Amino acid sequence: MSVVLAGGGTAGHVEPAMAVADALRSIDPRVRITALGTERGLETRLVPQRGYDLRLITPVPLPRKLNADLARLPLRVRRAVRETRAVFDDVRADVVIGFGGYVALPAYLAARGGLRRNRVPVLIHEANARAGIANKVGARGATEVLAALPDCGLAGAEVVGMPVRAAIAELDRPGLRAAARAHFGFAPDARVLLVFGGSQGAASLNRAVSGAAADLAARGVSVLHAHGPKNTLELPEPAAGDPPYVAVGYLDRMDLAYAAADLVICRSGAMTVAEVSAVGLPAVYVPLPIGNGEQRLNALPVVGGGGGLLVDDAELSPAYVAGPVADLLTDDARLAAMTSAVAAIAAGDAAGRVAGAALDIAVANREKNR
């Protein structure tokens, strides 16, 4: 079987695609897996690292305003569709799994076939609580539509959860905690706050937490802060005996970061919420204040279930971190209750369900075209 994955651009699109790729290989090691991407996306690094074939096409960002990009859109779409059809022909694609993003729309259009080519069936997975434009277009001709959350805006979508890589879904946080804390230089019994704002960091999170560094140290809280490779933090000189404040540009070992932490402050992109929930980590979610509001919606099921807090970006301040966040970190009973709540919310094997559905579609398509 030949499966094409269309989900490039951000980690929120690439990571679920890679989780499904791993699940496909687990079901059948003979499956040929090809990932579509663009030269500007994270997939240029993440896909080869995971050992999968990456084919680059012209990116098709969908402008939200009337501007020059909108005028160039038809030409970009035609070029990207032509390039994608060439990939389909080369790998003899049996099914396309789309996750949204820059490469998804050309893949959906190319899969429709034409006078001289067979249609390639499409399976869509929508990660966010509010579907994006590409998946809304693709869903109209898709064989099957799956979603991470209910009421995503795609008619007939079956809720299966968010595909998460096995290394995260199967993470034994308690068993790995001592080794993880030693890796980052924390004491075995430390209270650890993990902070990250996506692959590029988040300036508002950086300001709020670094601004509370002295207060957190006074409360005995250690910090592991991924501030983004292009950002820096201004931190006070630590006093003798202060717990460590470990600041890094990027975390290559998120499994160890999750295992070391008692609580996380983070954005609430669909992939972030899914991973944090899968490992059973309580969270303070700070939705990105731009976009169509999907980040707030992504976090609501966890927050409503008692596994997290929701704080507006404008409300996250050094005083909030030094107050309510530090209070939570030093409250054993409340942390334990939130941890139990997250564990009850976490989804099952979404990656396996998406992979299995795709292979079923591919088999049916081959039978039909015999």
Residue spans per domain, the chain: 2-162+349-368, 167-345
- CB atoms under 10 Å from CB of 150, counted, come to 10
Q: 253 and 168 in contact (C-beta within 8 Å)?
A: no
pLDDT band for 246, please (50, 70, 90 cuts).
Answer: very high
CATH H superfamily, domain 2-162+349-368: Glycogen Phosphorylase B; (3.40.50.2000)
The CA distance from 229 to 250, in Å, is: 6
Q: Tell me the two tokens of residue 35.
A: 């990932």
- Which residue from 255, 264, 257 is spatially nearest to 186, judged by alpha carbons? 257
pLDDT band for 200, please (50, 70, 90 cuts).
Answer: low
The CA distance from 159 to 148, in Å, is: 6
Measured over the CA atoms of residue 162, residue 163, residue 165 and residue 170, the dihedral's sign is: positive
Q: 202 and 265 in contact (C-beta within 8 Å)?
A: no
Q: Tell me the two tokens of residue 343.
A: 């564990």
Burial class, 334, CB count within 10 angstroms (exposed 0-12 / middle 13-18 / buried 19+): middle
The CA distance from 229 to 252, in Å, is: 12
Q: What is the mean pLDDT of residues 294-311?
A: 94
CATH number for domain 167-345, candidates 3.40.50.2000, 3.30.450.150, 3.40.50.10540, 1.10.150.120: 3.40.50.2000
Q: What is the residue whose two structure tokens read 């998406």? A: 354
User: Would the annotation count 277 as a binding residue?
Assistant: no
CA 185 to chain centroid: 27
Same-fold call for 2-162+349-368 versus 167-345: yes
Report the share of the chain in percent with pLDDT over 90.
70
As beta bridge partners, residue 145 has 124
Backbone dihedral angles phi then psi of residue 360, each to the nearest 5 degrees:
-60, -40
User: Would the annotation count 295 as a binding residue?
Assistant: yes
pLDDT digits (tens, 9 = 90+) for 77-88: 899 999 999 999
User: Would the annotation count 12 as a binding residue?
Assistant: yes
Q: 216 and 186 in contact (C-beta within 8 Å)?
A: no
User: Would the annotation count 128 as a binding residue?
Assistant: yes
| The pLDDT of residue 65 is above 60 | no
Least confident of 60-64, 81-85, 201-205, 209-213: 60-64
In this predicted structure, what is the pLDDT of residue 70?
53
